[in-house]
Amino acid sequence: MNFDLNNMSREELESLRKDTDKALATIDDRRRAEARAAAEKAARDHGFALEDILKSQKKPSKSPAKYRSPDDPRKTWTGRGRQPGWIKDALGSGKSLDDFLI
């Protein structure tokens, strides 16, 4: 669509702006609906309902906490990844990881 903006009246330009703002406000919703329809069709083509496929996807399980802070029991650590500050501080003061085992 090409518009000759220089030859449009003020009212036409304001109407065009209003229509453009409305289209921009709903574009994500429209694209999301199109994507969902495509996903539902693909699932149906394979003999499934989209909801069944989404429900069956397992979420990665969190590792259980292995260590707990004696000062604040809400602070825990699985033993994986970077050591939290409270563990680093305790190890720096001569304590052992075994002191914090749950």
Q: pLDDT (tens digit, 9 = 90+) per residue, 12-71? A: 999 999 999 999 999 999 999 999 999 999 999 999 999 988 887 677 778 899 999 988
Task: Name the one residue in this structure whose structure tokens are 């496929």.
Answer: 53
pTM above 0.75, yes or no: no
Which residues have a Cβ under 8 Å from the Cβ of 63 and sit 6 or more positions away?
Answer: 78, 79, 80
Q: What is the token pair recorded at 73?
A: 């029991």
Do you know the residue count of the chain?
A: 102
**What CA–CA distance (Å, rounded) separates 93 from 85?**
12
The per-residue pLDDT for range 63-97, each reduced to its tens digit, is 899 999 988 989 999 999 999 999 999 999 999 99
- The DSSP letter of residue 101 is B
pLDDT at residue 27 in the model: 95
Q: What is the token pair recorded at 19?
A: 């229509």
pLDDT at residue 70 in the model: 87
